[in-house]
A and B are shown apart, each in its own frame.
Chain A
Amino acid sequence: MKFSTIKFELNGKPVEIEVPPAMRLLDILRETFKLTGTKEGCGIGECGACTVLLNGQAVASCLLLAGQLEGTKITTIEGLVHDERMNLLQRNFLECGAVQCGFCTPGMLLSAYALLQKDARPTTDDIKNAIAGNLCRCTGYKQIIQAIQKSTESLSDPDQ
């Protein structure tokens, strides 16, 4: 097995790893860095459980290979632990009952976060479109959409 040296930024810190260039980002995160908040669902880019941010955009980490990471900025759910906007989303997910088994939650939160970073006041359709690539099989989407909506309203409400 051939190995390559890959340099990129992970959760705000520069990292350098020695891995096979066809190793998936998903496996690098979970196995090399033990960041297990990123989940594997389908492995073919359909379910969104492995969503991370690449240069601020939501992407499927199961479809990214180590060789494609050079010079990129990767953010996982762990990297936003102290982020105000992420904390607000998390609180609203809890309050709205948008978490049942929790497997889809990290990916769902990151898709919602990427949307709000781009557009602080999205419409319901924008929200649905942004999370169309995140499958949830137990909570139901209604609570999730409500939680994201609530996060947009409170963000733009100066009294909160």
Chain B
Amino acid sequence: MIQDIDFYRPGSLEELLTFLKDHGSNVKIIAGGTDIVPGLRQKASRFSHVKTLADIQHLHELKTIEISDGHLSIGSCATFSQIEANALIRKHFPLLSCAAGLIGSTQIRNRATIAGNVVNNAPCADSVPPLLVYDAIVCVRSHREDYTVPLNELLLKPYQTRLNADEVLTGFRLPVLADGYRGEFYKLGRRRGVSISRISLAVLMQLQGGSIQDFRVASGAITPVSVRLSGIEEYARDRKAGSELFAQLAQQLGNEIIKITGMRWSTPYKLPVVQQMFYQILMKLNDESVTG
């Protein structure tokens, strides 16, 4: 049985902000609840302070997905089913729709929301690496102020973000990419369906005349919090694309991961897989851009 908990159902976002101002420290915002409900039942310590769940799933203003001013806006309560099926995201942000389709099962994707995935900040959160390589900006509101913050600055440590108790993540803004980008989201779990990522990578590469104009890579599950690997990104820029460079980058990726996590029992198993997959993804993206 779940601890004695109150439910609060705000009529609007403004109502919620006022409620959080007065009761924020004991309130957890709930949308799909696919992380919170099992967490509460397992008495996870990260939910032990929760006295009230504030349900926001019914607030329609938080569900919209649209493109304007060169940016895609995704409301915080957009579900992964919505994101996977959305034509704009498929066209302009294919890594995100791919990751969305690989999360949990249909039953989970019909409820789980993108903001829930980000705020829960599990190392294996599948939407985070794509959001990072797409330079996602997070929109936050509270009774005090509205502000935006780059996603990488919001993620603090596993299962923790920099959001304050009186703040609500209302959505994401992703700049639409210039032409010539190719990318891939890679996920490795213990099985194909309904699996938790053991390794995930999001890679974006922009090529021009055989040389790399822009290069972006973000890790998932292999680092405590998903991160952009800026050392590798900078090294790759303006270099000639090809197997020689890609092998170097794969080597560097391994070094970066060890630098972040140290040697773990799983390192000898995971590292060769990450490096090999990274190399293969880069070769594939390069081949695709040659053949057009």
Which residues of A does B touch, CB under 8 Å? 1-2, 4, 20-24, 43-46, 48, 51, 54, 57-60, 62-68, 70-71, 111, 114, 128-130, 132-134
Contact B111 A67 (CB under 8 A): no
Q: Which chain A positions have C-beta within 8 A of B25?
A: none
B107 at the interface (CB under 8 A from A): yes
Sample of 11 further A-B pairs with CB below 8 A, known A22-B5, A44-B41, A45-B34? A22-B4, A24-B37, A45-B105, A45-B107, A45-B108, A62-B37, A63-B111, A64-B33, A65-B2, A68-B7, A133-B193
**Alpha-carbon distance between A34 and B55 when the two chains are bound, in angstroms:** 27
* Minimum CB–CB distance for A66 against chain B, Å: 8
Looking at A51, A70, A128, A133, the one whose CB has the most chain B CB atoms below 10 A away is A133
How many A-B pairs have beta carbons closer than 8 Å: the answer is 99
Inter-chain CA distance A111–B34, complex, in Å, is 18
B81 within 8 A of A: yes
* Residue B162 CB within 8 A of the other chain: no
CB distance from A40 to the nearest CB of B (A): 12
Contacts of B246-287 to chain A: CB distance below 8 A: none
The CA of A133 and the CA of B32, in the complex, are separated in Å by 16
Establish whether residues A129 and B106, one from each chain, have CB atoms under 8 Å apart when the complex forms: yes
B40: chain A residues at CB < 8 Å are: 22
Determine whether the beta carbon of B106 is less than 8 Å from that of A132.
yes
Chain B: how many interface residues by the 8 Å CB criterion? 29
Among A22, A57, A62, the residue within 8 A (CB) of B3 is A22
Q: Which of B57, B81, B193 contacts A68 (CB 8 A)?
A: B57
- Minimum CB–CB distance from A140 to chain B (whole Å) comes to 16
Instruction: State which of A51, A63, A71 has its C-beta within 8 Å of the C-beta of B33.
Output: A63
Complex: chain A residue closest to B30, CB-CB: A68
Within 1-59 of B, Cβ neighbours of A (below 8 Å) are at 2-7, 9, 30, 32-34, 37-38, 40-41, 53, 55, 57-58
Shortest Cβ distance from residue A70 to the other chain B in the assembled complex, whole angstroms = 6
Contact B41 A43 (CB under 8 A): yes
Q: Bound complex: CA of A44 vs CA of B38, how far in Å?
A: 6
Given contacts A51-B107, A133-B104, contact A64 B37 (CB under 8 A): yes
Residues B110 and A4 in contact, CB atoms below 8 Å apart:
no
Listed from nearest, the 6 A-B pairs whose CB atoms lie closest are: A133-B105, A67-B7, A132-B193, A21-B7, A22-B2, A22-B5
Q: Are B110 and A70 in contact (CB under 8 A)?
A: no
CA–CA, A4 and B5, complex, Å: 11
CB nearest neighbor in B for A135: B194
Find chain A residues with CB under 8 A from B37 CB: 24, 45, 62-65
Would you mind naming 14 contact pairs between A and B with Cβ atoms under 8 Å apart? A22-B5, A24-B2, A43-B41, A45-B38, A46-B105, A60-B34, A63-B32, A63-B34, A65-B7, A67-B53, A68-B57, A114-B106, A129-B106, A133-B108
Would B3 and A48 count as touching, CB distance under 8 A? no
A2-B6 in contact (CB<8A): yes
B244 CB, nearest partner CB in chain A, Å: 37
Across the interface, which residues of A come within 8 angstroms of B110, CB to CB?
Answer: 54, 57-59
Q: Are the C-beta atoms of A130 and B7 separated by less than 8 Å?
A: no
Contact with A along B106-130 (1 / 0, CB 8 A): 1110110000000000000000000
Considering the complex, give the chain A residue whose CB is closest to the CB of B42: A44
Tell me if A70 and B53 are in contact (CB < 8 A): no
Contact A60 B107 (CB under 8 A): yes
User: Which residues B199-247 have CB closer than 8 A to chain A?
Assistant: none
